[in-house]
C-alpha cells in the first residue's frame, strides 16, 4: 500500500458583508473565516450591524476552499447548494 501526504481539500465557512452583491458595483467590506463556534454568535451580530450600516449592505454565508474563492463568491452574492452540502458532509452532519 502506497503512503501519501495528499489530503482531501477541506471547505471553509466564511461570513461576508457585501454591498450590492452580484452587480458591477459589488464590494466586499468584510470577509471572516469562522472557526470558533464559541464566538460565532458574537461575530454574526457584529457583521449584521456592519451590513445594516452600509448602503446596499448584505451579510452572506460563503463556503469556499480558500479566501480568494470566498471573496469571489461573496462578490457574486451566492454560495451554491452543492458546496454547502459538501461542507455539511465534511462536518459529519
Please give the Cα distance from 61 to 40 (Å, whole number): 12
**Residue 46 zone, left/alpha/beta (φ > 0; ψ -120 to 50; rest):** alpha
Domain span at residue 44? 12-90
- Determine, yes or no, domain membership for 62: yes
- For the entire predicted model, the pTM comes to 0.83
- Determine, yes or no, domain membership for 33: yes
Condensed to tens digits (0 to 9), the pLDDT of residues 36-90 reads: 777 888 999 999 999 999 999 999 999 999 999 999 999 998 788 888 899 889 8
- For the four alpha carbons of 51, 52, 55 and 57, in that order, the dihedral sign comes to positive
Q: Which residues contact 44 (CB under 8 A, 6 or more apart)?
A: 15, 59
- Determine, yes or no, domain membership for 1: no
- Determine, yes or no, domain membership for 28: yes
Amino acid at each position: 500500500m502506497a503512503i501519501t501526504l495528499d489530503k482531501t481539500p477541506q471547505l471553509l465557512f466564511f461570513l461576508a458583508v457585501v454591498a450590492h452583491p452580484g452587480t458591477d458595483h459589488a464590494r466586499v467590506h468584510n470577509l471572516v473565516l469562522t472557526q470558533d463556534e464559541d464566538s460565532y454568535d458574537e461575530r454574526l451580530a457584529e457583521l449584521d450591524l456592519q451590513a445594516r450600516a452600509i448602503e446596499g449592505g448584505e451579510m452572506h454565508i460563503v463556503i469556499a476552499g480558500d479566501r480568494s474563492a470566498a471573496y469571489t463568491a461573496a462578490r457574486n452574492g451566492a454560495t451554491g447548494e452543492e458546496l454547502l452540502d459538501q461542507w455539511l458532509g465534511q462536518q459529519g452532519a
